[in-house]
Structures are given as structure tokens and as C-alpha cells.
Amino acid sequence: MFNKSYSFARVTQMACCGCFGFAFARQSKRLVKKHMGNHLSQEFLLNEELEDEDNSSHNGDSSDNGHGDEGELRSPTKRSEEILMYRTQHGLICREFPVKETHKLIRSEDENGNKMVNEYVRECKIGSGSYGKVVLYRSSVDEKHYAIKAFHKSHLSKLRVAPCETAMTDVLREVLIMKILDHPNIVNLVEVIDDPTTDHFYMVLEYVEGKWVCEGSGPSGGLGDNKARKYLRDIVAGLMYLHAHNIVHGDIKPDNLLVTAAGTVKIGDFSVSQVFEDDNDELRRSPGTPVFTAPECCLGLTYHGKTADTWAVGVTLYCLVFGKYPFLGDTLQDTYDKIVNNPLSLPDRMDPLLKNLLEGLLCKDPRERMTLGAVAEHAWVIEEEGPISQYLCWCKRKRLEREGSHGSSQDNQARTDNTV
């Protein structure tokens, strides 16, 4: 299975990326070393991204798809952008209505002195992160609320995240990914405001008027099986949609899962996501959060992004059910050691179906790990609602219509030939 003699030197070269928009400010490795074993160091492992002390990088090398040090190998980040641009330019997007693109920015105030960005009236700050802040705005046009991510382009362009990439690369890739997505379990990107004459850059997102999936559960207990099952079904539905479109999220965790007032879970934060041209989803280094990192990622080996996402779903389900993490140490090294080597600990008296599901999701061997398709049809997940069905998205509907039209044309031709 996995060898205990793996090098911690290799492990500590890897980094994690916290949830933008709903995370604490980044802290250096020096701070973590100083507070080893206390609450702060664990908080760092759960939410934060490692940062080199010289601030030259916020997540080390971006996920690398190479099988060696050959210079001719392009990074998957560049490939992701190329794939996304190709899809966008050729109309291969999964949206009936495209994201609005605005290239004129007007910053003003309303009659009450509230700051405005174009039509949007500022109400309050609702989150902050490494790259910028998230603010609640109300549209003066439709009176709806929106969550707006605000960035400074000059700051992002100076923030190096890899030898040839900046934080602006991450943000633009996130925008490109969200431009092609449309699913009820994915946070929707409504508008991008990018005025070339200003330093401001805004992502206008649907406002999820709810909470995070674990909010209110407390550290001592979970949400209960029924709510955990409902949330899991939504998470799996959204992730199956992403994987069907060859998108690896890369950072599935409760902090990136929002619950609407109606109880629907929506996946957010695509800042470390990658896109692939086909089913070959190989990566080398993981930019995700340490406690949600799959064993194969901890070893610094080449791994498959989709199976790593599936492991993170298993950790998330464990959190929802038990209100704690399955593998958590006092330090980064200790956490990775537990993920790779410690057996999964589950109560003796628990639902055997749920136990089977967690053991399948948190299988350390990625080749034996349960697939999302199997999760969708698992007895514990089905309960009374039945299997999770694949969402008939816009691009799939268009493809079926084209195939149906082509089939009808062939049938008509065949009937004509028979008549002749």
C-alpha cells in the first residue's frame, strides 16, 4: 500500500491553498513553527495556505503535470487556460446565457452616501482572503443581493504563485472556469467588471443567503445523518457535473460549500481548479487544504485529480457526520503522516451502510477508492430519494438535440431511399 519511509522533506515542499473569500489572512511558516501543537497551528492546517518566508510564492509550484524536469513540459495551468479559451471561443460552454462582461467602471455613491460600483450598492463586507475581499452588494436594477469579489490587478500581478505565474493567473483562470459552468449545485458567476483604465477587478457572484455546510454543528458533534445525506447528494451532483466536463475542483471542503436558505448546497471557489482536454487528469502537486489532501498527494507522487477530489468528499462527509476531521495532527508533517499511514477510525456502533460508504471514499489506495458514480448509487445515499441522477446540462441538451436532428435526417433519407 503506502510506505512509512516516505520523505518529509518532499512533503513539506508541497503547499495548500485556503478558501479565498472566506478565510483568515495568510501567515508565514515561521509563525506556524512558533505555535506548533496549539489551536493556531491546527487552524492553519485547516484553512490556510503555506507561504515561503520570502513571500515569493503563495502555493509553491502550481500543480505540475510533468513526469520529470524536462523544460518542454507545459504546466497544466497553461493548458487549462488554453482549453478554456478554446471552449469559450468555439461556443463550447455549458451556459444558455453567457456571463455579462462589463469594461466600464463607475465608482460613486447613492443618495444615502453608500458606495456604489456601477449599479451595485455596497452593504457590508462578508469575507476576506489572500487576494482581496468579498462584499455584499445590492443591485439598484433588480434589487437582488450579490456577493462581489474585489481585487486590485496591480497587487495580483506582483504576487508570484509559481515561476512563471502570478495570482492574477489564478483569478483569470477561475473566471474562465466559472464562465463555462451552469449547475444548480455550483455558485453562479453573473458578471465580470474589468475596466482597462482602472486597477479594480470585480467578480459578481450569486449571493448564497445561507451558511457553510458545517456552520452551527459545533466541534463536538455532526449534523445528523439525514442532513449529511442531503448535503452529500448535492455535493456529489455538483462534482459529478464538474468531472463530466473534465474539471477538477482541487479544494473540496466545508468552507467552500455554501448552503442556500432553501437548503441547497453550492460548490464555490475555483481558484485552484484545473481543466483537462480529456480524461487524463494527472497532476503532480496538490494545491488543496492539508486535512482534505488525499494520501497519494501527500507523497508528492503523480496523482489523478478526480480521485483526489473524491477523497476530499469523503473527508467532508466524515466532518458532516462526526463534527471532526478523520486525520489531523499538530503540524503539517504530522497531518500528512496520519493521512498516509493511520487507519480510518470509525465507531463500532454506527450505520453499517454509512461505514461502508466512508471506508470506500477514504480508501487510501486511489485505484480502489469508490467512484462518484458508485457513491451516487450507494444504498446509504439513495435512502428514499433514489440514485443521484446526472444533470442534463445545457451543452448536453444541445448535443442530444443535434444527434436527434441528425438521426431524424438519416431516418428521412432512409424512408426516401425505400420509397425509391
The letter for the amino acid at 29 is K
**CB-based contacts of 298, cutoff 8 Å, min separation 6:** 6, 11, 14, 336, 339, 340
The four Cα atoms 193, 196, 197, 201 give a dihedral, to 10 degrees, of 40
**CB-based contacts of 170, cutoff 8 Å, min separation 6:** 131, 161, 271, 272
Q: Name residue, grid cell 439513495.
A: 382
Distance of CA 133 to the CA centre of its chain: 18
What string of DSSP letters covers 74-120?
A: PPHHHHHHHHHHHHHHTT--S-SSPPEEE----EEE-TTS-EEETTE
Rg, C-alpha atoms of the chain: 22
Residue 265 in contact with residue 238, Cβ under 8 Å? yes
B/e letters for 205-216, b = 16+ CB within 10 Å, e = fewer, are bbbbebebbbee
> Which one is catalytic: 64, 182, 234, 251?
251
- Report the C-alpha gap between 375 and 359 in whole angstroms: 12
The letter for the amino acid at 353 is L
Residue 398 burial (CB < 10 Å; 0-12/13-18/19+)? middle
> Is 149 annotated as belonging to a binding site?
yes
Q: How far is CA 333 from CA 9, 23, 33, 279, in A?
A: 9, 22, 11, 32
Active-site annotation holds for 251? yes
Residue 190 in contact with residue 100, Cβ under 8 Å? yes
Q: Name residue, grid cell 448546497.
A: 265
Binding-site residue ranges for ATP: 149
Binding-site residue ranges: 149
Catalytic residue numbers read: 251
